Amino acid sequence: MKKVTAMNLPNKLTLSRILFALLFVSIFLCDSLISNNYIIACIIFVIATLTDFLDGCIARRKNKKLETVFGIVFDPIADRVLMASALVLFVYTNALHPAVAILLISRDILMSGIRILLGYQKQLLISATCLGKMKMVSEVILVLLLFANHFWCINDSILLTISITSIFSALISLAQCILKHRNDIFHEIYTRNVEVK
């Protein structure tokens, strides 16, 4: 059986998304140095989100033969770096209410904590659920609408609806994960004695 190397194409796309996030932040903040920096930043964001779609499709082709532990762990991390960067930047420019960013980023931090806990103690790898994917799609739409709102006046009710959808799908997917793995999670919290040296 052919061995799947960690640095296959899907994983390279995942790492590229982190680099795109850094470039995205740099371009977004360089409004005094780069003309049309918002347009360039938006294009970079779109390219980065496309790598998320592509690495998932490639990794799952041929009956998931290209999926690796690295990809399962770092794909959501790359997503969160990109999305958290975008949310914080739009809060910085007063285009997004801080509460929306706080809720979405806090959910991602809690989800990462659960992944680390279950991965370390139980060797469980949590893949993205349909609700998690819905949350990611709604966040991408929200960011694109915020970019569009910089050039055109987007109806506030549309932005509010997408924001609520993002928050709802984020919190429900978190609750779904906690309920599914509640026995493992709470067993570790209440019965595991951690020795501090």
CA distance 167 to 171: 6
Quick one: which of 85, 98, 105 has its CA closest to 29?
Answer: 85
Instruction: Give the pair of three-digit tokens for residue 104.
Output: 């979405």
From the options 1.20.120, 3.40.50, 1.20.140, 1.10.3470, give the CATH code of 9-191: 1.20.120
Quick one: which of 58, 43, 44 has its CA closest to 12?
Answer: 58
Quick one: which of 81, 12, 7 has its CA closest to 51?
Answer: 12
pLDDT per position as a tens digit, 68-88:
777 777 888 888 999 999 999
Question: pLDDT band for position 54 (50/70/90)?
Answer: confident
Q: Span 6-35, mean pLDDT?
A: 86
User: pTM surpassing 0.85?
Assistant: no
Calculate the alpha carbon distances from 138 to 85, 117, 150, 166, 197 in Å: 16, 27, 19, 5, 44
pLDDT per position as a tens digit, 91-108:
999 999 999 999 999 999
Calculate the alpha carbon distances from 74 to 36, 47, 79, 91, 168 in Å: 32, 18, 9, 26, 24
DSSP string of 80-111, one letter each residue: HHHHHHHHHHHHHTTSS-HHHHHHHHHHHHHH
User: What is the model's pLDDT at position 196?
Assistant: 44
The most confident of 12-21, 39-48, 105-114, 116-125, by mean pLDDT: 39-48
Which positions ≥6 away from 65 have C-beta within 8 Å?
A: 2, 4
Comparing 17 with 61, the larger pLDDT belongs to 17
